[in-house]
Every structure is written in structure tokens, then in C-alpha cells.
């Protein structure tokens, strides 16, 4: 029973992160998603400052609490009409959280470094001390920081409580893309639960960071879709904030952020002012990260990619690697239905590439994503079979978040044509 109370209490805290500080949109209904992205960027900033979590987290939450009360009263009527959404989130959060609390087991990399990195924050250390940790250079820290930040609110100090935020973030991402697809609320609820059944697995919440990339890519994809419809800069701004989060979760986050950067620049008739602001903001975030890494003397790239290795890569080795990557990628794409459906839909509707802007962007994202996956294994100095067998399922999963919005849009188009 105490653990169920703890899970419910944590949900309230997570909701605070979405309910405050801003009311960007008068409708009130979408603020949860936008605030979540904004607040995560604030937390990212806090994670680098030389303050211990315990010293500021309660105050931070208290301010968010006051702001969310203000927001609640200013949009009272609208919030009441969205109660059913909250019920769905509460129900699914409860189901997955109980699973996390029961299964408990951490993933291999989580045991290797993600959990230890989060302990730096939990044990009153800051980014400065973390930068001296021997495994810190491999990947950034933000996912571990979130783990520690929310674990800090646990009544009984349970480790898994911090990981429940990953569940919350994932659910909000899925909710964001399924909440206004159909006019009927029940149909949206059906879609929401269906998507969870399709994508949920305990291992994604075992302390590994792919779920954060997956969820953030969901947000980016949806923001792109809304931007193409409304052409408001606020969505480009939110995309940039999401890209900033990506580069702080994991080393490969920079690849996904760069792919997003390319596809946004490929949007036709993009307002020049928007283009300049967007490019400047993203490059600023990249520059800021390099500056921080430089200041704390963290290696920008500690992954096993070396120039000497590239130079000695002969045709025989290259063919061997390409063959294995192709086999493993095909097999894991068959296991992950999302990545399997994307090329099928693109091939069946190839004419849309020239007509539909979002379709074209997803097509480019897909091509660049495949190029990234191949390059990541070709240029890595490691046994390629070992490397593929231990990581490709996660790489396939993390990028598939981007395609969910696309699949829903295509399915909706197909259904509306069929029932016209």
C-alpha cells in the first residue's frame, strides 16, 4: 500500500511539471505538453549549476505549485472539460508504474553507468563532481539527472521512483499525438490505449535512455506537423527546445537533433526570419554544450570512433559490416512494426513525396535515419555482430518515436477516404 501511495504522490508532482509555469495558448488544453518541454529545459539548466538537488528542488516545486494554482483558476472551465484525459493518464500511469515497481530490474547500461551518474546528484554532488566520473564522457547526463531529481521526492527513497518520470514523459508524448485526432473523445482514448499496447515494454523504463529520445522525437514530429499547418514560430521554438534535450540525453541524440535540423531547413516557404531564428537557436545550443564540456573538461566524443580506424577500413571489412548491419536491421525492423510500416507506406504512396510537405520531411528523416544507423556501426571500432546484437533494437526503437505521428496521420487519411 505505501508504494501505491508513493506512485500516486509522484504522479501529482509530475503533473505539476506540466501544469506550470506558462499558459502559452488560451485554449489551456495543450499547455501540459508545452510546459513539460519548457520545464525540462529549465531542469537541464539546473542540472549544470553548482547547487545540490536537495537544496533547491522543494522550492522549485513550490513555485510550480503556486503557478499551477493560478493557471488552474484562469482556465478552470477548460480544464474541467478535459477531465477524461486526466483519468486516462492516471490509469495508464498506475498500470505501468506498478509494473516498474514490481519488476525493478535495471538494464545493462543503466547498471553500468546511468544509475551511477544519477547517484552523483542523489548523493549531494553536482555536475562538477560528475564530470570527473570515469564513464561520464561516453554519454551526457540529463536522463540520469531527471532520475535523481524525482527520486529526491520519494517518501521512502526508492530508486525506481525517479524512473517513473520516464513513464510519465512517455505517456504525455503518446497522449499529445492521440488527443485530438478524432472528433469523438472515446475514439481518441481508444487510439491512446492502442498506441501504448503497441509500444510499451518494461525494459524501456529500466533506466535506459532510449525512452526519452523516443518520447522527445514524438513531440518534435507533432510540433513539425502543427507548424506546417499553423506556421507559428512558437512551434519552431519548441522544436529547438526538444532538440536541445536530445543532445543532452545520449551521445546519439546529436545525430537525431542534426537530422531534425536538416529537415526543418528543408521546409518549403519557411519564413526567412523564422529560418534565421531557428538556425541561430540550435547552433547556439550546440555551441553552449561544447562550451560547457570544454569548461568542465569533458570529452566531446569518447565513443569508439577513431580516424585511424576509418583509414584502415578496407573493402572486405566494409562488406562484412554492411552485410551484418543489413541483416540485423531487417530483423529488428520486422520486430518493431513502426519501422517496418514506414518504408511500406512511403513506397505505396511515393507520389505524396512531391505533394505532401510532412510526408516528404518524414521520408527525408527516414533516409537520414537509416544512413545514421549504418554509419554508426560501420565507423565504430568494435565487433560489429556483438555491437549489433546488443544495441540495434534500442536504436530502432528510439528513432521510431518520430514516425508514430506520421503513421497516425496516414491511417486517419486512409480511414477517412474509406468511410467517405
For residues 280 and 322, give the distance between their C-alpha atoms in angstroms, rounded to a whole number.
Answer: 36
| Segment interacting with another protein (CB under 8 A) among 122-130, 218-226, 328-336, 401-409 | 122-130
Give residues 284-323 in contact with another protein (rule: CB under 8 A): 313, 316-317, 320-321
| Rounded least distance, CB 400 to another protein, Å | 18
Among 65, 133, 138, 296, binds another protein (CB under 8 A): 133
Q: Tell me which of 250, 380, 394, 407 binds another protein, using CB under 8 A.
A: 380
Helix axes 272-295, 233-249, angle to 10 degrees: 20
Which of these segments, 13-21, 116-124, 257-265, 277-285, binds another protein (CB under 8 A)?
116-124
From CA 28, how far away is CA 51, in angstroms rounded?
Answer: 33
Stretch that binds another protein, among 22-30, 102-110, 265-273, 295-303 (CB under 8 A): 102-110
d(CA 36, CA 20): 8
SS (H, E, C) 177-240: HHCCCCCCHHHHHHHHHHHHHHHCCHHHHCCCCHHHHHHHHHHHHHHHHHHHHHCCHHHHHHHH
CA separation, residue 166 to residues 80, 169, 216 (Å): 26, 5, 11
Q: Is 386 in the site for another protein (CB under 8 A)?
A: yes
Task: By CB under 8 A, tell whether 270 contacts another protein.
Answer: no
Q: Which residues contact 388 (CB under 8 A, 6 or more apart)?
A: 324, 325, 328, 377
Nearest-approach distance from CB 320 to another protein, in angstroms = 5
- Binding of another protein by 189 (CB under 8 A): yes
In whole angstroms, the minimum distance from the beta carbon of 68 to another protein comes to 28
194 near another protein, judged by CB under 8 A:
yes
Among 79, 239, 242, 384, binds another protein (CB under 8 A): 384
| Interacting residues with another protein between 78 and 97 (CB under 8 A) | 91-92, 95-96
Which backbone phi and psi does 405 adopt, to 5 degrees?
-60, -40
Among 21, 23, 90, 125, binds another protein (CB under 8 A): 125
Contact 193, 380 (CB under 8 A): no
Q: For residue 90, what are the contacts with CB-CB under 8 A and spacing of at least 6? A: 11
Residues that bind another protein (CB under 8 A): 1, 3-4, 91-92, 95-96, 98-99, 101-106, 108, 110-112, 115-116, 119-120, 122-123, 125, 129-130, 132-134, 156, 158, 160, 184, 186-187, 189-190, 193-194, 196-197, 200, 313, 316-317, 320-321, 380-384, 386-387
Amino acid at each position: 500500500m505505501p508504494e501505491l501511495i508513493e506512485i500516486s504522490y509522484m504522479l501529482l508532482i509530475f503533473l505539476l511539471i506540466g501544469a506550470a509555469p506558462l499558459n502559452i495558448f488560451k485554449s489551456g488544453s495543450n499547455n501540459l505538453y508545452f510546459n513539460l518541454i519548457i520545464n525540462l529545459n529549465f531542469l537541464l539548466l539546473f542540472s549544470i549549476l553548482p547547487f545540490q538537488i536537495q537544496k533547491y528542488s522543494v522550492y522549485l516545486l513550490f513555485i510550480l505549485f503556486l503557478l499551477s494554482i493560478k493557471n488552474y483558476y484562469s482556465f478552470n472551465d477548460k480544464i474541467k472539460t478535459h477531465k477524461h484525459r486526466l483519468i486516462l493518464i492516471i490509469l495508464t500511469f498506475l498500470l505501468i508504474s506498478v509494473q516498474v515497481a514490481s519488476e525493478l530490474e535495471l538494464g545493462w547500461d543503466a547498471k553500468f553507468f546511468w544509475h551511477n551518474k544519477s547517484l552523483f546528484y542523489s548523493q549531494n554532488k553536482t555536475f562538477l563532481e560528475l564530470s570527473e566520473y570515469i564513464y561520464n564522457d561516453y554519454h551526457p547526463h540529463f536522463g540520469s539527472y531527471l532520475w535523481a531529481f524525482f527520486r529526491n521526492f520519494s517518501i521512502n527513497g526508492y530508486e525506481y521512483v525517479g524512473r517513473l518520470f520516464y513513464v510519465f514523459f512517455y505517456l504525455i508524448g503518446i497522449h499529445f499525438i492521440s488527443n485530438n485526432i478524432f472528433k469523438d473523445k472515446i475514439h481518441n482514448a481508444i487510439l491512446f490505449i492502442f498506441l501504448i499496447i503497441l509500444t510499451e515494454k518494461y525494459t524501456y523504463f529500466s533506466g535506459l535512455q532510449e525512452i526519452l529520445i523516443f518520447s522527445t522525437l514524438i513531440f518534435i514530429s507533432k510540433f513539425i506537423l502543427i507548424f506546417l499547418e499553423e506556421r507559428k514560430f512558437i512551434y519552431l521554438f519548441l522544436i529547438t527546445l526538444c532538440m536541445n534535450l536530445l543532445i543532452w540525453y545520449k551521445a546519439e541524440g546529436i545525430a537525431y537533433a542534426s537530422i531534425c535540423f536538416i529537415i526543418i531547413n528543408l521546409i518549403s516557404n519557411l519564413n526567412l526570419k523564422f529560418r534565421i531564428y531557428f538556425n541561430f537557436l540550435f547552433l547556439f545550443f550546440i555551441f553552449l554544450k561544447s562550451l560547457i564540456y570544454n569548461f568542465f573538461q569533458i570529452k566531446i566524443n569518447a565513443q569508439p570512433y577513431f580516424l585511424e580506424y576509418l583509414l584502415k577500413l578496407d573493402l572486405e571489412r566494409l562488406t562484412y559490416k554492411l552485410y551484418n548491419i543489413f541483416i540485423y536491421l531487417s530483423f529488428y525492423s520486422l520486430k518493431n512494426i513502426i519501422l517496418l510500416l514506414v518504408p511500406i507506406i512511403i513506397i505505396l504512396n511515393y507520389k505524396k513525396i512531391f505533394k505532401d510537405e510532412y510526408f516528404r520531411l518524414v521520408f527525408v528523416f527516414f533516409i537520414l535515419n537509416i544512413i545514421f544507423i549504418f554509419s554508426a556501426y560501420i565507423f565504430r571500432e568494435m565487433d560489429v555482430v556483438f555491437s549489433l546484437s546488443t544495441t540495434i533494437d534500442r536504436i530502432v526503437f528510439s528513432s521510431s518515436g518520430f514516425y508514430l505521428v506520421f503513421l497516425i496521420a496516414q491511417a486517419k487519411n486512409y480511414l477517412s477516404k474509406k468511410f467517405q
